[in-house]
Chains A and B, each alone.
Chain A
Amino acid sequence: MSFDNRIIFAPATMVGESGITVIRLSGKDTFSLISNCLSKSYAEFLPANVDHYTSHTTHHGYLFSGVDFIDEVVVTFFKAPNSYTGEDVAEISTHGGSYIYRKVSDLLMKLGAFHAEPGEFSKRAYLNGKMDLAQAEAVADLIKAKTDQANKLALQQLTGKFSGKIKELREDLINYCSLLELELDFSEEGIDLVEKDVLLEKVNKLITKFQSLTQSYESGKIIKNGVNLAITGRPNVGKSSIFNYFLDENRAIVSDIPGTTRDYLEEPLIMGGIQFNLVDTAGIRETKDVIEKEGVRRSKVKIEEADIVLEVDDVTNSDITVEAFSETDNSGKTIKVINKIDLMPDTFNAALAVSAKSGEKMDVLEDAIIAKAKELISKNSQSDVIITNERHRDCLLKSCEYLVNAREQIEKGGGNELISFEIRAAMDSISEIIGKTANVDILNNIFTRFCIGK
């Protein structure tokens, strides 16, 4: 089966009780399909003059399935290649509601259109040369972005700034390769040869660029997916109370029985314009309860994965000292906090001491968390472009590995043909990011990650 000549459709907005639902169609015969169901009158089927509509215009009409009137609609037309997919595209705005959507969906299928697969519109846009691979991926990120920063990064990728950076690096690699090849193929012809230390310096610079770009993924990942913030500590220090406080709801069950939280809980949260994944963990302790044991194991995994760990203790613990809590290790990922100061007011003035119950000094804790998150983000974003995509990071890592091989060859006086082999491999790897190396499997993998309609 070839995808090419099929008309695909999908709702471009949420389907449900709403003002309108927009259904997007794309494919070669989209306009003739519309002319088979769009009527100028609601009383009877009077075909609209779709063939005469110009691109980027919107038209009012009535949808008919045979002789049955379905809905009053507005249709926007985009003619190839000036559309999102590069094909003929129509967007039908129907009244909202899942029943209407089902009726229209049935009608479109009857007329020969197919439900779009996830990401199929973007896939077509890519295949029709409307955007490169990294840009296509950015569309998915843009839709999913929940914070200003995530939105900015997705936009930066969509507008091609990221692709531009990759192309720039690729150009550099092509240039170095050319230098090496020149010496290999033309050494008999009296050309000026490249100095090995000059090349070494260039490759070193490039490795640094690659590393900072790869490193930026640590920030990019956090911006895109959120900061993993795990609340940990002994049983019954009030972890769940802090969790609930930040969420502003009684999400976790709170009691004074140690071990109330047996499995971890995870909720998204936005603080200071940064997205967090807040995780409430089971208090770590030796236990015979098999369920709690499993909860403890899972909690340990979550703590391992966390970007920031909120280590909670409470004022009733006689072992703790103010000093221990004032020595917050800034370079690490841990923030130590003392809870339940409402029980012993004024005891821990100097330390990060709070009461989740009364809310006292919780704003100080929030600020501390935000500061740490910002520090995490800025620490790894030295390059002007930030990577948010794991696939890109992997390609860059591989590429960087080949460059390190190349450096090794240069340093030990290896032949140009070997240095060139490594640089070519590096080039192929980063080319995969923008899809310059045709690999259908990568493509399919990428496109299935998209939400329907884009």
Chain B
Amino acid sequence: MNQNNKHFDIIVVGAGHAGIEAAWTASRMGCTVGMVTMDLDAIGRMSCNPAIGGTAKGHLVKEIDALGGVMGRIADDSGIQFRLLNKSKGPAIWSPRCQSDRDLYSKVAKEYILSCPNISLIQDTVDELVRDSNGNISGIKTSLGYEISCKAVIITSGTFLNAIMHMGHQQNEGGRYGEQSAKGLSNYLLNQGFKTARLKTGTPPRLQLDTIDFSVTSEQPGDDNPTPFSVFTSGNFPALPQISCYLTYTNQETHNILRTGFDDSPMFTGRITGAGPRYCPSIEDKIFRFADKLRHQIFLEPEGIASNVVYMNGFSSSLPENIQYAALKTIPGLEKVKMMRAGYAVEYDFLPTYQTNLTLETKLIPGLYVAGQINGTSGYEEAAAQGLIAGINAALKIKGEEPFILKRSEAYIGVLIDDLINKIPEEPYRIFTSCAEYRLILRQDNADRRLMKYGHKYGLIPDDIYNNTLAKEALINEGINFFKSNFAGPKDINGYLESVNASPLKQSDQLAQIVKRNEVKLSDFLAIPYFTDNALIQKIRQSEIIMDQIEIEMRYEGYIVRQAEQVEAFNKMESVEIPEIFDFNKIKSLSTEGREKLNKVRPRSIGQASRIAGVSPSDASILSIYIKG
């Protein structure tokens, strides 16, 4: 560390997916950032699955991108297989996902960080925070004995707080294979009055690629014409050669072998006390809980182009190493496989989120922000989204500006943070499309149209990119208006309708009605001679993205309108504010649990209060009547 530079606006503790976004956004907003990590080579490390995006997670990546974050850009630069998931379902559910080259992802992430002159990387461990006489953050103390002053700290320590790795009876301290645990900071937070709780997560074995017989598995290629996550990605995409993943299945023999290890499993013997994610169970959990299922699917995912490592998706385990190995060799394709590393479970501390505000600033220590797995989430994308919000808010606070809070009706990021703060999850939280009640309008395809205004406002999105989005928005609206206010007759378009086996017109009809028809593909329809001389249509035809947007908006119109009405009702409840200093204890008629939860979370609106777990509808209406008077 540079001895001359002992002050930063913001210290970011950790350089994982949350830390990267926090440091990036804060530095872009003009703050100096010191990024403290235990290992400079572990920046943006993918500690589990070498993949970005997926159902609902892909939405988060697109939103992070629209707000000026870097996850989408790094993923685009290091992706070796791109797919748009759920193509058979409606556009609200389509989710982009990519397979990443693990080493390259980390390398690209580091390059992005190094490209910011405002960010200084520091290899050290933060043990303590320093506070001024008002209790505000004024600096940090490190293991190496340095004291660095700052105005805000963002902790993005992932699973490293009091982390213990489990494999059979073996227990090691550490948050990731071969890496240390951060104990000092955990103890410091406890001493300051923070409450911590335990969570558990796991990771599957890593296999040696050239010992796998892929011929007996089924190949899962990527999309033929993939689209990037980021609006910043242009030119040659995808930049890297593309690979396939492979699907295989466990069988009864696999399960029998795994069962012999149950007596040694840290989960079943109670050595792991933390709650694990129910949506991402270990293989032993799956066999135990779904005993009647004869097989489970396993995705074999290469970890990179030049890598000889394969990630065994679906086989997370903390059973003894020899049992994992014996079991996985019964799986088709893996008969002769070499296991490079066994799966393991990690148990770690997190800060239950009633201690945190919607800005991700802690209630106990002003100027201290927390983001990522420390808040009980799982997943890189969830972590990155929080890092971005914490980074923006820390910078805004230093500048003395209003905080930035996304509503549930605006973004999956809003849903994520609102759920974290109000529902106070007790297992690792992962985003799903079903968490978003307004998902028909919160689509991945319109993330830029929804959110770029904020990214631009905070200086995270450059003018040229923002102007492109504005122009796109204008053209989409112009197009929709055109289809709604213009008519076509039988002779104009029946030729086309018949060519796609759609029933022909008997009399002239509104173009919008034609566009809404299921058989009609907008790009083909607009190519008919009838539109040749129409300048607007010809302009629209130049962009697939614009045609897609128009098509979605028009097909979904009825639902979008209804959803917008719901949002309006929602916003009405959100706008009924609860004063910051409101005394919930004075409302005697609240249920005991309701009052306790209201005191813990301290909601700022009636809408928020009604979503808090433990606050009954009756509590919410009492509060509402009380506030409205």
Contact = CB atoms under 8 A, between A and B. Distances in A.
Nearest to B587: A4
Residues of A in contact with B, size category = 35 or more
Contacts, number: 93
A190 B296 contact: yes
Given A415-B93, A421-B440, A435-B618, A184 B559 contact: no
A415 B90 contact: yes
A4 B89 contact: no
B93 A129 contact: no
Contacts of B279: 186
A2 B55 contact: no
Contacts of B55: 184-188
B628 interface: yes
Contacts of A28: 588
Interface in A296-310: none
Contacts of B621: 127, 435, 438-440, 443
B353 to A, nearest CB: 22
Given A1-B629, A4-B589, A184 B616 contact: no
A294 interface: no
Nearest to B629: A1
A421 B589 contact: no
Contacts of A2: 625-626, 629
A435 to B, nearest CB: 6
Nearest to A129: B618
Contact of A440 (B93, B562, B616, B625): B625
Contact of B434 (A3, A5, A184, A435): A184
Given A127-B618, A185-B433, A443-B621, A421 B559 contact: yes
Interface string A417-444: 1101100110000000001111110010
B54 interface: yes
Contacts of B29: none
Interface of A: 1-5, 28, 86-87, 124, 126-129, 181, 184-190, 414-418, 420-421, 424-425, 435-440, 443
A121 to B, nearest CB: 13
Interface pairs A-B: 3 shortest CB-CB: A415-B90, A190-B297, A181-B434
Contacts of A1: 629
B25 interface: no
B226 interface: no
A95 to B, nearest CB: 34
Contacts of B89: 184, 187, 415-417
18 contacts: A2-B625, A4-B587, A87-B589, A129-B618, A181-B432, A184-B433, A185-B433, A187-B55, A187-B89, A188-B85, A415-B93, A417-B89, A417-B90, A417-B93, A418-B440, A435-B617, A435-B621, A440-B625
A443 B618 CA distance: 11
Residue among A28, A424, A435, A440 having the largest count of chain B Cβ atoms under 10 Å: A440
B255 interface: no
A126 B622 CA distance: 10
A397 B510 CA distance: 32
Given A4-B588, A435-B618, A443-B621, A184 B629 contact: no
A97 to B, nearest CB: 35
Contacts of B559: 418, 421
Contacts of A189: 297
Contacts of A424: 437
Contacts of A187: 55, 86, 89
A143 to B, nearest CB: 23
Given A188-B55, A424-B437, A435-B618, A417 B432 contact: no
Nearest to B437: A424
Contacts of B56: 185
Contact of B439 (A190, A417, A436, A439): A417
A182 B470 CA distance: 36
Nearest to A190: B297
Contacts of B434: 181, 184-185, 420
Nearest to A87: B589
A424 B559 CA distance: 13
A244 to B, nearest CB: 50
A448 B285 CA distance: 55
Contacts of A417: 89-90, 92-93, 433, 439-440
A215 to B, nearest CB: 27
Contacts of A436: 617
A185 B86 CA distance: 9
B393 interface: no
A91 to B, nearest CB: 20
Contacts of A438: 610, 617, 620-621, 624
Given A181-B434, A187-B86, A421-B440, A126 B54 contact: no
Given A127-B622, A188-B85, 18 more contacts: A2-B625, A2-B626, A4-B587, A126-B618, A128-B618, A129-B591, A129-B618, A185-B55, A187-B55, A190-B296, A190-B297, A190-B314, A417-B89, A417-B439, A417-B440, A418-B90, A421-B559, A435-B618
A126 B617 CA distance: 11
Contacts of B90: 414-418
Nearest to A128: B589
A437 B85 contact: no
Interface string B276-301: 00010000000000000000110000
Contact of A129 (B54, B314, B616): B616
Interface in B496-515: none
Given A2-B626, A4-B588, A437 B617 contact: yes
Contacts of A186: 55, 279
Contacts of B85: 188
A207 B588 CA distance: 41
Nearest to A2: B626
Contacts of A127: 589, 618, 621-622, 625
Interface string B587-629: 1110100000000000000000010000011101110111011
B617 A184 contact: no
Interface string B52-96: 001110000000000000000000000000000110011011000
Contacts of A443: 621, 625
Contacts of B296: 190
Contacts of B610: 438
B565 to A, nearest CB: 10
Contacts of A86: 589
B176 to A, nearest CB: 24
A420 B297 CA distance: 27
A241 to B, nearest CB: 54
A440 B624 contact: yes
A124 B589 CA distance: 9
B589 A184 contact: no
A282 B29 CA distance: 82
**Which of A3, A87, A184 has the most C-beta atoms of chain B within 10 angstroms of its own C-beta?**
A184
A127 to B, nearest CB: 5
Nearest to B607: A438
Interface string B125-155: 0000000000000000000000000000000
A418 B432 CA distance: 16
A31 B616 CA distance: 29
A435 B439 CA distance: 25
A2 B625 CA distance: 8
A320 B610 CA distance: 68
Interface string B423-462: 0000000001110010110000000000000000000000
Question: Considering residues B296, B589, B616, B629, which has the most beta carbons from chain A within 10 angstroms of its beta carbon?
Answer: B589
A425 B589 CA distance: 30
Contacts of A190: 296-297, 314
B303 to A, nearest CB: 19
Contacts of B54: 188
Contacts of A4: 587-589, 626
Contacts of A414: 90
Tell me which of B279, B296, B562, B625 has the highest count of chain A C-beta atoms within 10 A of its own C-beta.
B625
Nearest to B83: A188
B589 A185 contact: no
